[in-house]
A = this chain, B = another copy of it.
């Protein structure tokens, strides 16, 4: 398995101003793997409880998502409940139950340990490192993080930053990690902490790629009808990594194309609850939207 993601499989209960869903299938690795699978196979490392339906994992497998790395544990699966306000940027967490994820100790199947492309989805930096330790000689390691870890596990996170190639985070997290209000200065400071590049997500305002000598800015895809933003960041990461793993190239022009593909997979994600929309579209639809996005942003 050349491309591997380590993250959560979850049930999400979501309220938006217009609709809601109870216990829909979610989790960072679910969204990432759905997006990445448009480009080729991806191996999934995570844990589910006894309540997670086998049919869902079978459906994953049918999409080219390898589930050998999914551990089955006693108890209930990770559960998250949240509510969005009408601006979509304000999200209230109503409930988080870690359940089987509380004791998650990632174990990569032997066939995953030679992976070239590794994505460490949002999780405790110590667990991210534990997973990374099991990969022999990855070509590209990208990690996600969140304000919680910047707050309570800063040292472990800084330690991890010295071992990864790319970091994905949002504008607020970049400011929090560096204490720098200006995003471009914040990005510069994060590069000094270790990563070769960072992907700075700005939700409906798009994303920036910052490398040592290479910077690229991209707006979000113009979605007329946002249904549920949950998973947009992970779907972005999945399209970004999936494309790079597929082309096996890391040069600046491939990274730019990967940013466009990530933007496209994220746009499908937000058009439905759970994986309803992102699960619906194949590579052809992804490429058509990629072409439209390219036309939308090319000077």
Contacts and interface: CB of A to CB of B under 8 A. Distances in A.
A53 interface: no
A215 B297 CA distance: 9
B222 A219 contact: no
Contacts of A260: 299
Contacts of A182: 224-226
Interface string A154-198: 000000000000000000000000000110110000000000000
A256 B295 CA distance: 11
Nearest to A205: B205
A258 to B, nearest CB: 11
A215 B296 contact: yes
A223 interface: yes
Interface size class of A (residues with CB under 8 A): 20 to 34
B219 A185 contact: no
A56 interface: no
Q: Number of copies of this chain in the oligomer?
A: 2
Contacts of A294: 299
Contacts of A216: 296-297
B184 A222 contact: yes
Contacts of A299: 218, 256-257, 259-260, 294, 297-298
A206 interface: yes
Q: A-B pairs with the 6 shortest C-beta distances?
A: A217-B219, A205-B205, A184-B222, A256-B299, A294-B299, A184-B224
16 contacts: A86-B181, A87-B181, A182-B224, A182-B226, A184-B222, A184-B224, A202-B205, A205-B205, A206-B206, A216-B297, A217-B296, A218-B219, A260-B299, A297-B297, A298-B298, A298-B299
Given A206-B217, A297-B299, 7 more contacts: A185-B224, A215-B296, A216-B296, A217-B297, A219-B219, A256-B299, A259-B299
